[in-house]
């Protein structure tokens, strides 16, 4: 699947596939194109495909190997693309969520002024957490006596 095949999708279908509206995709693409160098040998993936790979990785959490097979490039190429796109989008600060202070100020302003539009943000924490397991130590087991162990005859 390439960007050329999905750009004709309706807005709702595009969002279901990539996780962002087509307008947001275009804004991200402008930021990514601004930082992309287009010299050197020809690339297998176009610039919009770089962004699509990253969004599909975030949306579906598929392995980089599977994305590489779908797009016809190696796993290391997918890893490099995702890392570069993430870094550029983070540095642009155009797609950051508002901080706690901004939300509090918006809430206080909405209480005093009814005409102020309240910003609604829903955050979902889907990070992986390590499972706490008991440590293995020798104190938890009862050691067997040496006399209970059968000896081998020579």
Tens-level pLDDT at each residue, the chain (154 residues): 788 788 888 989 999 998 889 999 999 999 988 888 766 778 888 889 999 999 999 998 889 999 999 999 999 999 999 999 999 988 888 877 777 787 778 777 766 655 455 556 677 777 777 778 777 766 656 666 666 666 777 6
Q: pTM score, two decimals?
A: 0.64
Q: Among 93, 89, 103, 5, which Cα is nearest to 46's?
A: 5
Helices (H), the chain: 3-6, 11-18, 22-35, 47-60, 64-71, 75-92, 100-112
């Amino acid at each position: 699947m390439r960007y050329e095949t999905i750009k004709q999708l309706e807005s709702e279908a595009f969002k279901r596939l990539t996780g962002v509206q087509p307008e947001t995709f275009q804004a991200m693409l402008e930021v990514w194109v601004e930082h992309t160098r287009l010299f050197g040998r020809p690339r297998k993936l176009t610039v919009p495909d770089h962004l699509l790979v990253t969004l599909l990785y975030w949306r579906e959490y598929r392995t980089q190997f599977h994305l590489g097979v779908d797009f016809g490039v190696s796993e290391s190429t997918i890893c490099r693309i995702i890392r570069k796109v993430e870094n550029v989008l983070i540095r642009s600060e155009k797609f950051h969520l508002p901080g706690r202070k901004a939300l509090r100020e918006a809430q206080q302003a909405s209480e005093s002024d009814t005409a102020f539009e309240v910003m609604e943000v829903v955050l979902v924490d889907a990070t992986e957490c390590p499972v706490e397991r008991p440590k293995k130590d020798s104190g938890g087991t009862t050691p067997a006596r040496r006399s209970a162990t059968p000896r081998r005859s020579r």
